[in-house]
Structure 1
Amino acid sequence: MTTWNLTQMQRHVLICNGSTCMGAGAEEVTQQIRDEIRINRLDEKIHTSRTRCNGRCKDKCVVIDYPKGTWYSVQQEETARAIVHESVAENSIIYSMENGERKRGESRFKGINKYRKKRGPKKKAALFVGHGSRLEAGNEEVRQFIDRIKGQVDPTLLVETCFLEFASPTIEDGIQLCIEKGADEVHVIPIILLHAGHSKLHIPAEIEHAKEHFPDIHFTYGQTIGIHEEVIDILLTRLAEVGFDVNQKHEDTAILFIGRGSSDMDAKADFYKISSLLWEKLHVPIVENAFMGVTTPTVQEGMERCIELGAKRVIMLPYFLFTGILMERMKKYAGQFREDHPNTTIEIAEYFGYHPNLQTVLLERMNQALDGTSTGMQDLENFRKYAEEHGYEHHHH
């Protein structure tokens, strides 16, 4: 090991290389600071060290300058290089020392007290995780849906909403918000239809990451919606809304059942099981399956198959929770199909949306997480084993 002679050193710059900061570019920040020191021949006055997590993940990337005691949030190369010259803009300062007191920047998140006194009964939080959509209307539908659920649960239970990607708050933000509001237990419930990569890897990774930062908080994980009788009833309701009588025979009608699509074989198998259960409830000769992406058959292929089999009426039945880009795309497909097949009646049913049965399923999944009977806990264990065997670099979406 190298032993440096640091007698001439005036400053010690600590650069966070924890997983969150590394995912946000800490390696580049480290090199930029060191390069600026080298260019200005300040190697004998400024010493740098990489650290592990410093507990300000929301301010990623974090750099600390001692003995001055200033903490910086670095998102740009300009800021990284300015640290060397102590000329950083005020909006990039997390903490500064003024008259011996630590002051937090006005734009900076307060964060959670590192040592919290335990008082009174434990407070539980249910954190619902939506997938997130590039279409904000879909994200707002999720928020409103969870707001409706709040009226059906114990008022002492904290209920919050977050998103896996494309929207805010993120899972990390959601967990922090629950703890800030006093939660000692955080029960994470995915608002996800099928069990695939997001529920097997990505959400468990966020929970395991949170455990590292909050070892005194109890976390549980709920299971996905999955194969559930209530889901079949929702699909039957959406068919009825377009004038399809589920109790009558429809000799010339085909149902084109459309999912998002996944490369996960378990998720694809579950989708086909749901399709089969649906078919058992219907009196139609054709129920075809199709996917919007990732896997096959495509929606185009599914529609062609329905028409080849003689369907005079095709109902496109989306297996989606809320609106989003894919739902908008499906509507465009329907318009194109009508032009291409003018002799075939082509309709599109609604997605799940605010259906009361969906509330029933999510409340069931929440209660399973709260009482410890959720299969999601096995998912956390499976993720830990996966990470040990294959490695897993944590990324925030």
Structure 2
Amino acid sequence: MSQSSAYLLVSHGSRDPRPQAAIAQLAQRVQHKMQSDTPLALVGAAVLECAPLPLHEQIQQFSQTAIAQNVRHIQIVPLFLIPGVHVMEDIPEQVKIAQQTLGETVTIALSPHIGTHPGMENLLANRLAQRSADAYILMSHGSRRSGGNQSVETLASKIGAVSAYWSVAPKLEARLQELAQSGHQKIAILPYFLFTGGIIGTIAQAVDQLSQQFPNLELDLATPLEVSDRLADLVLDLSLQSPKEITANPSL
């Protein structure tokens, strides 16, 4: 029995083992959901950084596994929340290199990144609804790429939160200052990150320090999205959408 496509979930990568374990778990959960319709569904995981092999070689290895199962089409699903340089430049370039190397043995297509899924709004809104606060902050890593943070701004507005960023302004301290001046006292902070890792630990330390800096504020730091059936459903739905095909033509 053959199937039409194999799916490779691509995340940023980290030296912290927890995100690596989480993406592998998410891939297994997505594969399990796919297997209800396609028993031989193949879903893998790869990372852009902090791996022994560059992404294009990871794609090539996964493609060989797919070919052995008589699958000739690979869909790359970027597990990134904002359209920064990694999404808009780095991953497409790595996919092109892989396609050029593989030639016509397989076709590779690139799905939109997970942050584009309209279901992300409901996922975040439901998480905020579980927390009792009079103000909410959606905190993203942030991107220095022009327009890279607009999706965060839009999401924050839709769920009744304000945005803050780890790497660019406005940062968390500035947002807390604004909210304190507006009379807010109990503030929930939702990290707009997929998985727990080193940066989440650093954010938690920063929140502890900010709690001392703003003693009149009650700060409630939520966890990242983490692996869940809801997130797996978004990834599954995104995987099944019409992706952008990558050709072997280096001029494209």
TM-score category, normalised to shorter length: 0.7 to 0.9
Whether the 8 Å contact between 1:291 and 1:298 is mirrored in structure 2 is: yes
1:174 is matched with: 58
Following TM superposition, by how much is the alpha carbon of 1:330 offset from its aligned partner in structure 2, in angstroms? Answer: 1.1
Match of 2:202 among 310, 329, 333: 329
Amino acid at match of 2:85: G
Q: Distance in 2 between matches of 1:265 and 1:175?
A: 28
- Determine the C-alpha separation between the residues in 2 that align with 1:211 and 1:173: 10
Q: Which residue of 2 aligns with 1:224?
A: 113
Q: CA deviation at 1:122?
A: 6.7
| Contact kept? 2:10, 2:45, Cα under 8 Å | yes
Report the TM-score when normalising by structure 2. Answer: 0.87
Task: Name the residue aligned to 2:150.
Answer: 269
Matched, 1:185 2:69: no
Residue 306 of structure 1 pairs with residue 179 of structure 2: yes
Q: Does 1:233 align with 2:117?
A: no
| Shift of residue 325, structure 1, vs aligned partner | 2.1
1:343 match: secondary structure: coil
Residue 313 of structure 1, CA deviation:
0.7
384 and 275 in structure 1: CA distance in 2 versus 1, 3 angstrom threshold: farther
Mapped contact 1:318–1:350 kept (Cα < 8 A): yes
SS at match of 2:114: coil
**Structure 2 CA distance for partners of 1:124 and 1:227, relative to 1, 3 Å:** closer
Query: Structure 1 residues 145, 121: CA separation in 2 closer, same or farther (over 3 Å shift)?
Result: closer
Show the counterpart of 2:169. 296
Pairing 1:22-41 to 2, within 5 Å after superposition: none
Quick check: 1:165 aligned with 2:49? yes
Structure 1 CA distance for aligned equivalents of residues 216 and 236 of structure 2: 44
Once the two structures are superposed, the pairs formed by residues 357-368 of structure 1 within 5 Å of their partners are 357-368=230-241
* Pair 1:130–1:169, CA change in 2 (3 A): farther
Moved more, 201-210 or 168-177: 168-177
Unaligned runs of 5+ in 2: none
Cα distance 1:208–1:228, how it changes in 2: closer, same or farther (>3 A)?
Answer: closer
Is 1:345 the equivalent of 2:233? no
Deviations 1:296-345 (A, max 9, x none): 11111112111121111111111111112221111011111111222221
Which one of 39, 51, 57 corresponds to residue 155 of structure 1? 39
Provide the C-alpha distance between the structure 2 equivalents of 1:273 and 1:202, rounded to a whole number of angstroms.
24
Aligned match of 1:282? none
Question: Residue type matched to 2:164 in 1?
Answer: A
Query: What is the rounded CA distance, in whole Å, between the counterparts of 1:189 and 1:228 in structure 2?
Result: 12
Partner-residue secondary structure (3-state), 1:316: strand
The whole-number CA distance in structure 2 between the counterparts of 1:179 and 1:358 is 25
Q: Does 1:215 align with 2:89?
A: no
Aligned-residue offset at 1:366? 0.7
Give the number of equivalent residue pairs.
243
The two structures have a TM-score, normalised by structure 1, of 0.57
Give the deviation of 1:355 after TM superposition.
2.9
4+ residue runs over 6 A deviation:
none
Q: Amino acid of the residue matched to residue 174 of structure 2?
A: E
1:202 is the counterpart of 2:83: no
Which whole-Å deviations, capped at 9, do the CAs of 1:58-96 have from their partners, x for residues lacking one?
A: xxxxxxxxxxxxxxxxxxxxxxxxxxxxxxxxxxxxxxx
Looking at structure 2, the residues matched to 122 and 169 of structure 1 have their Cα atoms a distance apart, in angstroms, of 27
Q: Which amino acid aligns with 2:232?
A: Q
- CA offsets per residue over residues 77-131 of structure 1, 9 Å max, x none? xxxxxxxxxxxxxxxxxxxxxxxxxxxxxxxxxxxxxxxxxxx957632111011
**Counterpart residue identity of residue 178, structure 1:** F
Supply the distance in 2 between the matched residues of 1:241 and 1:139 (Cα, whole angstroms). Answer: 27
Write the distance in 1 (CA, Å) between the matches of 2:81 and 2:90. 15
CA contact (8 A) 2:57 2:98 kept: no
Cα distance in 2 for residues equivalent to 1:344 and 1:352:
24
What secondary structure sits across from 2:33 in the alignment?
coil
Query: Which one of the candidate residues 105, 118, 129 is aligned to 2:10?
Result: 129
Question: How far off is 1:132 after superposition?
Answer: 1.0
- Provide the aligned C-alpha RMSD in A: 2.3
AA of the residue aligned to 2:75: H
Between 1 and 2, higher relative CO (CA 8 Å, sep ≥ 6) is seen in 2
CA radius of gyration, larger in: 1
The verdict on how the C-alpha distance between 1:254 and 1:220 changes in structure 2, with shifts beyond 3 A counting, is same
